[in-house]
Structure 1
Amino acid sequence: MDNFSTFVVFIDQWAWIGWLVLIAVFLVIEMLSLDFTFLMLSFGGLVGLVTDFLGVPVWIQIIIAGIAAALFILFLRPPLLRRLHRGADPARSNVDALVDLRGFALSDITQVSGQAKLANGDTWTARSSSPVPIPQGAPIAVTAINGATAIVRPLND
């Protein structure tokens, strides 16, 4: 028997260890990423391990494991992600909670400078989102936050 045949027989006999190592590596990466992608790849590796125990040739094991992993990613991962995020808190927080918050201009607000007092009691450096200056005391609403500056628009209500 030549070296290549010996190598093929060796791979065929010990492929199950390769599948176990691959599954373990994918599970460790999944624990670090928590995205379900590597979990699906480990499921594909599990399918490859099962096909090895059934005596399927290694090259077919790899194809079947790849197809299984792709199917898991396409059809199992999306509902798992939806289920995971189903109980997420819908309340906006941090900077997102400031968008659309109302207040009033503490000083004239232009596209360059100004100050605004928001309904939550915070005082922010502000810039107008429109070229028309907002006069002191006018009602405003936050349209965006840019660093430590609130981008505001005048309220016409």
Structure 2
Amino acid sequence: MPMLRRTAATALSAAALMPVLLRTASAQTAAGGNAQLLPRILAASAFSLATSDLALQKAQAPAVKTFAQFEANEQRAVLQAMKIAGIPMPAQVEMDPQKMQMMQQLQTLEGTQFDRMYLQGQTVGHQELLQLFQTLLTSGSQSEQVIATLAVASIQQHIAMLQAMA
């Protein structure tokens, strides 16, 4: 029963993102040169948010729980900022199979095993997000560059925090 509640909570967190993630198909084509970059950013963000929401329930170490709260708040804020800036969103966001598999594995882990895998996933995810936002910083519209500027600084701070916890 606790696993069902955790899975339901994760599903609810993902459902909360849907208004931000779902847009018309015309919005996807309006993204221009970043039509393929934005879905990758959103997929990485969705993974980071979903695993962080899970960590808020399952993490053992207080530092990991604190990081998870920071990360969940950051992901929600970035998505909200993108929405406010009018950045076109794709019609659908799909998490890659590797991230889906890690999410499933995290749901089965407890204690320090969970903490270790969560931190590993966040480290890899943050490195991916950093690269994607740095690309957006140089190739995006003015609104995208504003979001990317703030995201890059935050991601760099989170990478330092993750390295300190490792």
Point out the structure with the larger helix share: 2
**Structure number having the greater strand percentage:** 1
Shared fold (TM-score greater than 0.5)? no
TM-score with structure 1 setting the length: 0.32
- Structure showing greater relative contact order (alpha-carbon pairs closer than 8 Å, 6 or more residues apart): 2
Q: TM-score, length-normalised on structure 2?
A: 0.30
